[in-house]
Amino acid sequence: EVQLVESGGGLIQPGGSLRLSCAASGFTVSSNYMSWVRQAPGKGLEWVSVIYSGGSTYYADSVKGRFTISRDNSKNTLYLQMNSLRAEDTAVYYCARLGIAGQLVVWGQGTLVTVSS
Amino acid sequence: QSALTQPASVSGSPGQSITISCTGTSSDVGGYNYVSWYQQHPGKAPKLMIYDVSNRPSGVSNRFSGSKSGNTASLTISGLQAEDEADYYCSSYTSSSRVFGGGTKLTVL
C-alpha cells in the first residue's frame, strides 16, 4: 500500500529550528517528485517546496533561504529542515508524492508545527 | 507566487450541479494545462479530484469534471450529494513551483 507518514512537528520558539520527516512505503521516494504543502489553522493550502527525482529543489518565496527539502534514499524518507522559524510558519505540514504532471497524488496525514513563545 | 482566485463559498441542493471557478494569470492557469483540484474534508488531508485540467484519477466519481478557458479553470460537480460538502482547492504549475487557490467551501443545502 502506498503511504506517507509525517513526523517531527511540535511546539518551537520563534527563531528555532525543526526537522520534519516523511516516511514513505509502497514506492521509492528517490524515483518520484515529492513536495511539502502547509496549511495554517483555518486557512488554505500553501505550496512550500518540491524535490525532483534528479535532485533539483524549489521553494516558495516565503520559505526560501530558511527551509531545505532533502531525502534519504536508504531510509526512503523525505525531510524538511526548517530554520529561523516565525509565527507565520505555524501550520499543518503535509508531504505529498507528485504525479507526472505535478499533481499531488498521495498525501500524508500531516504534522502540526506551532511556532510560539 | 500570488494565490489563484476562488469564490469563498458556493452552495447547492442535492441533485443539483455547481461550478467553482479558479482564476489565475497567463503565468500559471493560462500558461499550462497543469491545473488540479483537491477536496478536503474537515480534519483530513486533501484528496486529488482532477488533474491536467480535466482528468479524473481512478476511483473519483464521474460527477466531478474540470475545464479551462483562458486564465480561468473550473470544477463542476453534478448530482450533488451530501458527502460532497467540503473545501475545494485548485492548483496550477507555475515556473518550477506550484500555486494554490484560496479555497472554496461547498455547502450542500
Tell me the CB-side half-sphere exposure of residue A83, using CA atoms within 13 A: 6
| Closest approach of A108 to chain B, Cα-based (Å) | 7
Residue A111, chain B, CB below 8 Å: the answer is no
A33-57, pLDDT tens digit by residue? 999 999 999 999 999 999 999 999 9
Q: Does residue B1 carry a pLDDT above 90?
A: no
| pLDDT at residue B81, rounded to an integer | 97
* Contacts with A9 (C-beta within 8 Å, 6 or more apart), sequence order: A18, A20, A92, A93, A111, A112, A113, A114
Chain CA centroid to CA B107, Å: 15
Task: Dig out the grid coordinates for A37 from the structure.
Answer: 504543502
Whether the pLDDT of residue A15 is over 80: the answer is yes
Examine the pLDDT at B94 and tell me if it is beyond 90: no
Calculate the dihedral angle through the C-alpha atoms of A45, A22, B56, B21, rounding to the nearest 10 degrees. 10
Confidence band for B2, pLDDT divided at 50, 70 and 90: confident
Residue A4 in this model has a pLDDT that exceeds 70: yes
Identify how many contiguous H helices and E strands chain B contains and give both numbers.
Answer: 0, 9
Please tell me the predicted confidence (pLDDT) of residue A100.
83
A 1-40 residues inside an 8 A Cβ radius of B: 35, 37
Contact B91 A45 (CB under 8 A): yes
Chain A: residue whose CA lies nearest to B90: A45
Per CB distance under 8 Å, which residues of B are interface residues toward A? 1, 3, 34, 36, 38, 40, 45-48, 51-52, 57, 87, 89, 91, 93, 96-103
Instruction: Copy the grid coordinates of residue B69.
Output: 478557458
In the sheet that holds A77-82, the strands lie side by side as A3-7, A18-25, A77-82, A67-72
Q: Are the Cβ atoms of B3 and A44 closer than 8 angstroms?
A: yes
The reported pLDDT for the residue numbered B43 is: 94
Region B68-78: mean pLDDT is 98
- pLDDT value, residue A93: 98
Query: Mean pLDDT score of chain B, rounded to an integer?
Result: 95
Gap between the Cα atoms of B57 and B70, Å rounded:
24
Q: Nearest-CA residue of chain A relative to B50? A: A103
Is A91 in CB contact (< 8 Å) with chain B? no
How many CB atoms sit inside 10 A of residue A94's CB?
Answer: 24
Write down the pLDDT at residue B3. Answer: 87
Give the per-residue pLDDT at B83: 97
pLDDT tens for each residue of B20-66: 999 999 999 999 999 999 999 999 999 999 999 999 999 999 999 99
CA distance B18 to A18: 42
Record the cell numbers describing residue A78, joined without a space. 523525505
pLDDT in tens, A54-111: 999 999 999 999 999 999 999 999 999 999 999 999 999 999 999 888 899 999 999 9
DSSP reduced 3-state for A7:
strand
For residue B57, the 8-state DSSP code is P
Chain-centroid distance of CA A40 in Å reads 14
A61 to chain B, any CB pair closer than 8 A? The answer is yes
Q: Which of A42, A35, A16 is nearest to B98 (CA)?
A: A35
